Amino acid sequence: MYILASGSPRRRELMKLVVPEFECAVSGCDEFVPKGTAPEKIPELLARQKAQAVAKDRPGDVVIGSDTIVVLDGSVFGKPKTPEEAVSMLRTLSGRTHTVYTGVAVVEHGETRSFVQSTKVEFFVLSDEFIRQYVATGDPLDKAGAYGIQGPGALLVKGLVGDYFNVMGFPVAAVARFLGLVP
């Protein structure tokens, strides 16, 4: 059985594109990133922690963990804790190109394999009024970088280079190939 180590509704929907039947289990693990970890390595490290935590209780299953971050100029933008933090993040990303990194880890037969996928995303220049209107929707508060490309946050994005689904938090084509489900 495939187990998605996530409570994210977006990842759940995207996982259905990879395998139609699976279960979800939230890891509940304490996410720990050692000081000095390179930003592009963080989501892979966290994905491994999540998958391994769930796999302890599901040794016969294939457990898949995932984590996504936004990086600009070496700074990591996770999920904003407050609307004010979301406004600040979006002001910083406005008119600039950032990188979205998604780490994916698979635990099977006690072994952990993982990878990280990156996508470049360019934002339009955003007015303060538009940023505040978007933040007021509540959409950015549970998303890395304070936006979701699959919803109203699509209006922020001028363009991207890479995998659209990676920006949503789960690179479905890469995951399917990593699992050996697609040649």
Tell me which residues are annotated as active site: 67
Burial 168-180 (b: 16+ CB within 10 A, else e): bbbbbebbeebbe
Burial 71-95 (b: 16+ CB within 10 A, else e): bbeeebbbbbeeeebbbbbbebbbe
Helices (H), the chain: 9-18, 42-55, 83-93, 128-136, 164-168, 172-178
Q: Give the Cα separation of 50 and 93 in Å (integer).
A: 28
